[in-house]
A and B are shown apart, each in its own frame.
Chain A
Amino acid sequence: MLLFLVASGLTIILSTLRKINFAHGSLFMLASFFAFEFLRLVPPTLRSIWLAIIVATLVVGAVGAFIERSLHFLGEREKVYEILLTYAYALIIYEAVHMLFGSGGKFIKTPSYLAGRVNIFSTTFPVIGFFIIVVGVSAYVGLWFFIYKTRIGLLARGISFDEETARTLGINTNRVFLFVFFLGCAVTAVGGGISGMWIPVTPYMWELALLQAFCIVIIGGIGSLGGAFIGSIGVGQLTSFSIMIEPRISMVMIFIVTAIVLLVRPQGIFGREIL
C-alpha cells in the first residue's frame, strides 16, 4: 500500500502533464527523513506523528512544485531534457540527504496505539499494517474523488486529453499543472512519512521506491488510478512471495512481469494510449 502512494502520485503527474518524474523516489525518501527529523527536533509537546507527516507532506509538496516550475524554464525542448532534469534532482536530493543525515537506517517510533498486534484467524498482524492499508485505500478514494468529482480534476483530465484545446478555452493550464504536481508529490510524501514506522529510513530507499513505482505504473497502465492500485497490490504480493523463496530476487521477478506486460499489452493492463 505504501507502494500505491508512490505510484499513484507518479501516475497522476504522468497522465496529466505527460512528464515523468525521476525524482519521485527521492521525494518519498525525503519525506521520511523530514518526518524523522521533525520528530527529533521539535519540543515534546508537538511531537506527534500526524504533525510530522503533515509537515513532511507540505515541504515535499513544495519541493515538487519547485521542480515543476523549473521544468517550465526548459521551454519547448525535447522530452529527453525533462527526464534528465528530474534525474539531476533525484541525484541531488539523494546526495544531499546522504550528506546531511548520514546513511544509517532510522526508525520512526510508532505511537503506542498503532504499535500493538492483533489476532485474526490465529495469526498475529501488527496494527500498523492495517493502518497503512487504511491510509492507502483512503488515498485511493480521495484521489478518485479528486479526479472525477472536482472541477480541478475535470480540468486535469481535460488537459491530459487535449492540452491545446484546454488552453484555447481559457484554462490556466500552468496552474493546474502546478497543483497536480504538488498533489502527486504530496501523496507520495504521505507514504514516505508513514513508511518510517514500517521500514528503516535510509537514503538508499529512493531507488527501490522509484523502480517499484515505475513497474507498477507500467503494469497498471499510465494514467489509470485503478491500474496503479491493482498494480501495487500485485507487486507487493510478488515481492513478499519471492522474498520467501530468495530475498534479493524480488526486483528481478517484478522486472520480468513488467517486461511481459510491455510485450503483451504495451499500454498496461488498464491503460490507454497516451504520449
Chain B
Amino acid sequence: MKKLIPVYLVAAILIFTAPFLFEHHLVYIISLFLCYSIFALALNLVLGYMGKLSFGHGAFFGLGAFSLAYLLEFVPFPLALLGSIAVSSFFAGLVGLVCARLKSIYFAMFTLAAGEAIYFVVLQLVSIRGLYGLSVPTLEPMKIFGLKMNLGSFNNYYFFIVITLFVLTWTMYTITRSSFGNMIKAIRENVDRVEFIGVNERRLQWANFLISGVFAGIAGALYAPLVGYLAPEIIGFAGSAEGVIMVILGGPNTFVGPIVGAFLLVFIKEYLSILTEHWLFFLGIVLLIIVYVLPGGVAGYVSDKLKPR
C-alpha cells in the first residue's frame, strides 16, 4: 500500500487544517464524518474481521451518546466520558455474552433484536421527561493536568475529536495486527479449526464484540456534544443500518474501508437529505448496487486495482 501513502498524508493534513480552510458548516460535516468513521471502524472489527453481521451497533453508539449527555448534567466532561464508556461497555459485554455463541444468521437476528430492545428502553427513559430527544449541555471550560481546555468552542472541540480519532484509529490498527486480531480472522475463516487447536473461541469472540462495542460507545460520546441534540433514532434501526452501510460501502476487508465508507455516507446523506427526507430509500439502492457490483466496497476495489499483478 506504499502508493497510497501520499493520499493518506494529504487527507491527514486536510483534516488537521480544515477549520482554517473551510467554512463552518463543512467543518461540522467533516467532524461528523470523523465520529462516524470511529463508529464504522469499530463495527468493522465485528463485521469485517470476525465476519459477522451486527445490526445492533447503533445501540452502543447511541448508549455512549445518551449516557454522556445525561451525565454531563452532573459531572465534568472527562468523568462523563468515562461514565459513558462504562455504560456502553457494560451493555456490549452483556449482549456479547449471548452473541459469542451464535452463528451468522442467529447473530444478525439477535443483534437486531438487542439493538431494538435497548432503543425501546432509552426511548422510554427519555420520554419520561416529556421530551422526544435529549439536548446535550454545552461543555464548560476546564483544567486537566494544569492545561486549560475550552471544549465549548467549536474549533477546540474539533481538534479534540481529531486527536482522539487518530489515537483510536491507531489503537484499532494495532489490535487488528496483534495476535488477537489474527485469531479473530482465524475464527472468521474456520471456527472448528480454531477450537481444535485449543483456543477458547467464544471468549475471543466475546472480547472482540466488547472491544467493538466500547469503541462504538466512544464514537457516540464524541458525537453527542457535536450535534447538541440527540434523537433516539441513532440508537435504533436507522443508526445501526447506517453503520452497516458505511462498512459495506467502504469495504469490510480493508482497514481503511470503513473510513472511506463513513466519508461517503456522511456526504451522501448531507446532500440527499436536502433533496428528500426519504434518503434511506436511496441508501438501500446504494447498498443493493454495492452488494452486486462491488462486494469488496470502494476501498476493496481500489486496493485490488493497485495490487501488483
Contacts and interface: CB of A to CB of B under 8 A. Distances in A.
Asked whether A and B interact, the reply is yes
Interface of A: 14, 18, 20, 22, 73-74, 77-81, 83-85, 87-92, 94-96, 98-99, 207, 210-211, 214-215, 217-218, 246, 248-249, 251-252, 254-256, 258-259, 262-263, 266, 275
Interface in B27-76: 47, 51-53, 55
Interface stretch (B106-114, B156-164, B223-231): B106-114
A91 B101 contact: no
A251 B115 CA distance: 11
A79 B237 CA distance: 21
Interface of B: 47, 51-53, 55, 98, 101-106, 108-110, 112-114, 116-117, 120-121, 123-124, 237, 241, 244, 248, 278, 280-281, 283-285, 287-288, 291-292, 295
B121 A80 contact: no
7 contacts: A80-B51, A80-B53, A85-B291, A91-B287, A92-B281, A214-B113, A255-B116
A88 B117 contact: no
Given A91-B283, A92-B284, A275-B106, 8 more contacts: A77-B295, A80-B53, A84-B248, A217-B109, A248-B123, A255-B116, A255-B117, A259-B110
A92 B285 contact: yes
B244 A84 contact: yes
Tell me what chain A mostly uses at the interface: helix, strand, loop, or mixed: helix
B124 A79 contact: no
Contacts of B292: 73-74
Contacts of B102: 262, 266
A73 B284 CA distance: 18
Contact of A99 (B117, B278, B288): B278
Contacts of A94: 280
A83 B108 contact: yes
Contacts of A91: 241, 280-281, 283-284, 287
B295 A88 contact: no
B171 to A, nearest CB: 25
Contact of B112 (A18, A211, A248): A211
Contact of B278 (A80, A95, A211): A95
Contacts of B55: 87
B113 A211 contact: yes
B116 A79 contact: no
A96 B292 CA distance: 21
Given A91-B280, A92-B281, A96-B281, A84 B287 contact: yes
A98 B281 CA distance: 9
Contact of B98 (A81, A98, A217, A262): A262
Pick the 4 closest A-B CB pairs, nearest first. A95-B281, A91-B284, A255-B117, A92-B284
Most buried by B among A18, A81, A88: A88
Contact of A214 (B51, B52, B101, B112): B112
Nearest to A255: B117
A22 B53 CA distance: 12
A251 B114 CA distance: 10
A202 B53 CA distance: 28
Contacts of A246: 124
A92 to B, nearest CB: 4
A26 B61 CA distance: 25
Contacts of B285: 88, 92
**Residue among A73, A84, A266 with most chain B CB within 10 A:** A84
A22 B109 CA distance: 9
Nearest to A95: B281
B104 A80 contact: yes
B124 A249 contact: yes
B244 A87 contact: yes
B291 A20 contact: no
B105 A95 contact: no
Contacts of B53: 80, 83-84
A117 B104 CA distance: 46
Contacts of A73: 292
A275 B103 contact: yes
Given A218-B109, A262-B110, A99 B281 contact: yes
Contacts of A99: 278, 281
A88 B109 contact: no
Contacts of A92: 281, 284-285, 288
A40 B287 CA distance: 34
Contact of A20 (B105, B117, B123, B241): B105
Contact of A248 (B101, B120, B281): B120
A98 B278 CA distance: 8
Nearest to B286: A88
A14 B295 CA distance: 24
B120 A20 contact: no
Contacts of A248: 120, 123-124
A115 B237 CA distance: 35
A258 B109 CA distance: 11
A252 B121 contact: yes
Interface centre among A92, A96, A263 (most CB of B within 10 A): A92
B103 to A, nearest CB: 6
A251 B119 CA distance: 10
Contact of A79 (B104, B121, B244): B104
A199 B112 CA distance: 24
